[in-house]
Amino acid sequence: MSDLGELDALGLAALVKKRDISPAELVEDAIRRIEQVNPALNAVITPMFDLARNAAAGDVPEGPFQGVPFLLKDLVTAYAGVPLTSSCRFTKDVIPRHDSELVKRYKRAGLLVVGKTNTPELGLPPTTEPLLHGPTRNPWDVTRTPGGSSGGSAAAVAARMVPMAHGGDGGGSIRIPASCCGIFGLKPTRGRLPLGPDIGDIMHGLVNEHALTRSVRDSAALLDATAGMDVGAPYDAPAPRRPYLEETQRPPGKLRISWSVKPMTPVKIHPDCVAAVHDAVKLLTELGHDVVEEDFDIPGQELLTQSFVAVWAGGCAATIDAMAFMVRKTPTEADFEPMTWAMYQMGKSVPLPMYLLGVMQLQKLSRDLQWHWHKRSIDVRLLPTLAEPPLPLGTLDAQPGNPLAGFFRSAEFVPFTPLVNVTGQPAMSVPLHWNAAGLPIGTQFIGRFGDEGTLLSLAAQLESARPWAGRRPPVCATAK
């Protein structure tokens, strides 16, 4: 290949295994790519070039991704000796002394971390525009958001800096940037991947870790390499039927797929996002699936929204208080962005009974919806990923006198993604559609609890029917 950027991670690892290229050469190529396009995008905010060079010069584990360059999101997951800023002034000097379990598994898989990627402050809004590091720009249109909170990772993968990068998803934070940047993003089942040794769960299981990739098989193989509970984990996902990479090589069969463009909340859906779903319905029908339109009426919608906000705001407050204990400082308004501080104050005001009632309500919703799936024999649910194309940068900023303006505007942008963070089900954003302006519009597929296998098999079928990996954004790293 004249351009290594056109290969996925497994493709690069195959070159290493055949000794056609060395891990050190792959690292140097990734560094060159980052230096070529990162100034235009601001996706990588902590270079780890010397660490990666040293690791590549040593004994790189012979895992499925031996020698492949990788990027780590600067949130939740710790790499020993490298700042974990969470894009927050309050924690900008935090340097972990040990690796998270997930990082250990990345290293055992043979990945070489070449840097850390940008994220919004504490990962709260669905755009990546922190004051600490500055905004990340979408490689398809640098005036627009790459999404969030894994926006730096998504922009880097789409722009061919690396073939895949780490992400996390607490309300859509893998799927949102995957949609905005035209790549593949899978949120696994709750408990599938470890958060230890420092964290049991985040916001009662809303947050899940995995990755942004260009190919489906990379996502599957990485899940094979990293899945499984760690010591003391509060949850464990059901065991898979077979390796996930094997699932991508098996036809999914005829699936019963229900679809809708009706959001859970009364917001307007952009015609481009509706068109993307209709386009996917047509493709799925052509592939032989049983595709039926079905809107879900969720009882107690107002209480559901209140419950999610209570848990989200309460989780924000708990996170900041935990950070304050860690850094031995008292949080002040000057340490945080206006929306984060307003969320902190909101969370501090949530009474404990209301918080616990919110958790109970969300758990009840999860049971109700999954029983509905069981009774209707639904294999997969198809929805828009987002209600709008990628927003112009600055759209979700706090407003004078209204620091939560961006939070409530975010609810209009992402009404479809938070539900499966509540239920714990796996979900993916698949890049099947681009609008007339050349912006990617993802479509979201939700699977049964514990059933990433069906999603990955379907995703591989869709990828084969409508390949997307060859689409290159205007800002994209090129060969030497």
Which pLDDT does position 304 carry in this prediction? 77
Judging by DSSP bridges, how do beta strands 380-384 and 440-447 pair with one another? antiparallel
Question: CA-CA distance, 473 to 471, in Å (whole number)?
Answer: 7
Which tens digit of pLDDT belongs to each residue from 233-275?
998 999 999 999 999 999 999 999 999 999 988 899 999 999 9
Catalytic residue among 100, 149, 179, 429: 149
Residues 6+ apart with CB under 8 A from 374: none
- Max CA-CA distance within the chain? 61
CATH of the domain at 434: 3.90.1300.10
Residue 196 inside a domain? The answer is: yes
Q: Does residue 461 have a pLDDT over 70?
A: yes
| DSSP conformation class of 86 | T
Q: Which amino acid is at 350?
A: V
Question: CA-CA distance, 252 to 413, in Å (whole number)?
Answer: 31
Q: How many helices (H) and strands (E) does the chain have?
A: 15, 11
Known catalytic membership, residue 116: no
Known catalytic membership, residue 73: yes
Categorize the per-residue pLDDT at 299 as very low, low, confident or very high, splitting at 50, 70 and 90.
low
Which tens digit of pLDDT belongs to each residue from 82-119?
999 999 999 999 999 999 999 999 999 999 999 999 99
Catalytic residue among 86, 100, 173, 366: 173
Which tens digit of pLDDT belongs to each residue from 148-199?
999 999 999 999 999 999 999 999 999 999 999 999 999 999 999 999 999 9
* CB-facing half-sphere around the CA of 167: CA atoms within 13 A: 37
Residues 272-279 have a mean pLDDT of 98
Residue 101 inside a domain? The answer is: yes
Which pLDDT does position 443 carry in this prediction? 98
Residue 29 inside a domain? The answer is: yes
Residue 44 inside a domain? The answer is: yes
Q: Which of helix, strand or coil describes residue 94?
A: coil
| DSSP conformation class of 360 | H
Question: CA-CA distance, 303 to 397, in Å (whole number)?
Answer: 27
Which pLDDT does position 303 carry in this prediction? 73
Residue 475 inside a domain? The answer is: no
Catalytic residue among 73, 107, 116, 187: 73
Q: Does residue 381 have a pLDDT over 90?
A: yes
Residue 347 inside a domain? The answer is: yes
Residue ranges making up the domain that contains 123: 4-465
Residue 383 inside a domain? The answer is: yes
Residue 473 inside a domain? The answer is: no
Question: CA-CA distance, 378 to 381, in Å (whole number)?
Answer: 7
Question: CA-CA distance, 295 to 314, in Å (whole number)?
Answer: 31
Total domain count, the chain: 1
Q: Does residue 429 have a pLDDT over 90?
A: yes
Categorize the per-residue pLDDT at 2 as very low, low, confident or very high, splitting at 50, 70 and 90.
low
Q: Check the CA dihedral 399-402-403-409 and report its sign.
A: negative
Length of the chain: 480
CA angle in degrees (0–180, nearest 5) for 463-21-62: 75
Which pLDDT does position 301 carry in this prediction? 66
Categorize the per-residue pLDDT at 297 as very low, low, confident or very high, splitting at 50, 70 and 90.
confident
- Whole-structure pTM value: 0.98
Q: Does residue 332 have a pLDDT over 70?
A: yes
Known catalytic membership, residue 153: no
Residues 49-53 have a mean pLDDT of 98
Mean of pLDDT over the chain: 96
